[in-house]
């Protein structure tokens, strides 16, 4: 196939490496000329330019921009593509994005390859990043079946685990397991900083070890990404946060009321349930 | 020195391995005869029995039992020891424990070596477990200085980082960085289980990856240990939980009110503060 990739960062670059290895011809789009040169140099694309019109010959376009740019990019692409070109994206929220993008291009199919790294940018791109990772495909009821299967087949060819669901089910699921943890974890760091006794705060900093490190990890991550998760998945995240606060209140009441056997039973349920998620 | 270790689990066994390597003679105490045999076999003790009277010759006793057994063990030891024998413990909460133990034995000095492993029990014991780990010594105002320095010197000889503070400062610090994370993390697992749509819950379980794994790790740990932390450090933990809930409420209000730049600023503070704890 002829495949276009718009946005040559970690995900776009990694997709390019894999797709070229699979024998596709990959057309890159990046705003900055030096990114275009670097992407060709890395072997992530066959050619690259900032001109969307260069994607006229492609069968499929993968939009790998930040979330806020996805729908505007699809709108800007539309005049240049032939009618049955499939357009997909890699954004980590789907509801708002898919509806807006599909309004500009009926053969748009939302996608979310769930592979990430601590590093961002083209320099962090690597081959086989998606092997054995979840790749969620999120069509609308009206999305043409041929467009859906082209994206599913592509994800499959990357050796990802392909799941298909509605944009709204995707967003509710990732609110629980990806966006809620960021807010829970960030609030842990914020709470510790509230300690007003300098001796105790210094001691807490000196004693923090692996338990604190794990629980605070995602809360100490990229602030812009965290904000974007909340902004584009606001409703599902608020629902998860309300549920979370109820659970925390119940647990606090057990401690306040010294209901130790009930608390131990609750902690036992947590211990038993966690492996179901991993 | 002649050193007694009461309770031959992960911590007691690991201490024994190091203390024998340092040339001390180590007397073990365990309830079960097969634990005594295994401890001698592993080289964690020179001899072992269930009889506390065997500790009459020792200069120092390390009580390595579960928290609830520490003060009763000190009380049971008292009739067998010579007056200036130092008794210390390794419990993860100090306030209630130290006051009760010191009432039975004035030369009691609380201690908390902050080394742990996922595995428990004598079979998990290992040499050098305490190297470069924090070892908190928590004397009372009335604790004899000679007793304090004997415990500090011992911790130092294990190559641990020795910190000395009051039992109450210790408990407030560990509430923030050890006990609060367990409750925050357990509540995350509990909240996810509240999802009433079976499709979304199954999807959440399928999509959970490293972010969920990190944030839920300590909440999926030993339920009895989690309950004991809350039981013996109830007041400090409740104070931390109240602070945490305030922070989470503030963050939720920013999302609800779509105050995106304020949210990003808050997440930036979390990102900047986390390294101060690690």
Cβ within 8 Å, pair B247-A217: no
Q: B145: which 2 tokens?
A: 């200085």
Nearest alpha-carbon partner for B172 in A212, A192, A217, A263: A192
CA distance A166 to A164: 7
Judged by DSSP in three states, A194 sits in coil
For B112, B134, B235, the CA distances from B96, given in Å and listed in that order, are: 14, 21, 11
Q: What is the pLDDT of residue A89?
A: 98
Nearest alpha-carbon partner for A150 in A133, A164, A132, A169: A164
Cβ within 8 Å, pair B188-A183: no
Q: What is the pLDDT of residue A79?
A: 97
CA distance A159 to A150: 15
Size of interface A-B (CB pairs under 8 A): 322
Q: What does each of the 278 residues of chain A score in pLDDT, given as a tens digit?
A: 999 999 999 999 999 999 999 999 999 999 999 999 999 999 999 999 999 999 999 999 999 999 999 999 999 999 999 998 999 999 999 998 999 999 999 999 999 999 877 778 999 999 999 999 999 999 999 999 999 999 999 999 999 999 999 999 999 999 999 999 999 999 999 999 999 999 999 999 999 999 999 999 999 999 998 999 999 999 999 999 999 999 999 999 999 999 999 999 999 999 999 999 99
- CB distance A238 to B194 below 8 Å: no
**Cβ contacts of A172 on chain B, cutoff 8 Å:** 195, 197, 200, 203-204
Q: What is the pLDDT of residue A119?
A: 79
Question: Is residue B16 over pLDDT 90?
Answer: yes
DSSP B16-27: HHHHHHTT-EEE
Q: What is the pLDDT of residue A110?
A: 98
CA distance B46 to B23: 11
**Cβ contacts of B216 on chain A, cutoff 8 Å:** 181, 270, 274, 277
Q: B174: which 2 tokens?
A: 């560990």
DSSP A127: T
Q: A48: which 2 tokens?
A: 């690259």
In DSSP terms, B113 is beta-bridged to B135
C-alpha A188 chain-centroid distance? 23
pLDDT (tens digit, 9 = 90+) per residue, B220-237? Answer: 999 998 999 999 999 999
Residue with tokens 């602030």: A223
Q: What is the pLDDT of residue A8?
A: 97
pTM for this structure? 0.91
Exposed e or buried b for every residue in B129-150, given b needs 16+ CB within 10 A?
Answer: bbeebbbbbbbeeebeeebbbb
Cβ within 8 Å, pair B176-A195: yes
Cβ within 8 Å, pair A190-B136: no
Helix segments in chain A, DSSP class H: 10-21, 33-42, 67-77, 95-104, 145-157, 167-174, 180-192, 198-207, 210-216, 223-232, 234-256, 260-277
Q: What is the pLDDT of residue A116?
A: 75
- CB distance A174 to A168 below 8 Å: no
Q: What is the pLDDT of residue B116?
A: 74
**Cβ contacts of B223 on chain A, cutoff 8 Å:** 264-265, 267-268, 270-271
């Amino acid at each position: 196939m002829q495949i276009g990739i718009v946005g040559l960062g970690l995900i776009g670059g990694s997709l390019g490496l894999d797709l070229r290895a699979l024998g596709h011809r990959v057309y890159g789009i990046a705003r900055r000329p030096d990114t275009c040169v670097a992407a060709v140099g890395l072997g992530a694309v066959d050619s690259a330019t900032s001109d969307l019109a260069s994607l006229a010959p492609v069968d499929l376009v993968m939009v790998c921009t930040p979330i806020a740019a996805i729908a505007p990019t699809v709108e800007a692409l539309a005049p240049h593509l032939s009618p049955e070109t499939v357009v997909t994206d890699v954004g980590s929220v789907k509801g708002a994005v898919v509806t807006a993008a599909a309004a500009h291009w009926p053969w748009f199919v939302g996608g979310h390859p769930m592979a990430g790294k601590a590093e961002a940018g083209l320099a962090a791109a690597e081959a086989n990043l998606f092997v054995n990772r979840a790749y969620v495909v999120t069509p609308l009821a009206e999305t043409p079946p041929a467009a859906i299967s082209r994206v599913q087949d592509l994800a499959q060819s990357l050796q990802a685990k392909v799941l298909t669901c509605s944009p709204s089910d995707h967003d509710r699921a990732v609110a629980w397991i990806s966006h809620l943890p960021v807010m829970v974890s960030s609030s842990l760091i914020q709470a510790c900083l509230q300690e007003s006794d300098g001796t105790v705060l210094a001691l807490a900093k000196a004693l923090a070890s692996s338990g604190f490190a794990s629980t605070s990890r995602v809360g100490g991550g990229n602030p812009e990404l965290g904000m974007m998760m909340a902004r584009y998945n606001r409703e599902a995240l608020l629902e998860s946060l309300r549920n979370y606060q109820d659970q925390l209140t119940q647990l606090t009441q057990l401690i306040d009321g010294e209901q130790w056997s009930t608390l131990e039973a609750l902690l036992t349920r947590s211990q038993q349930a966690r492996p179901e998620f991993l």
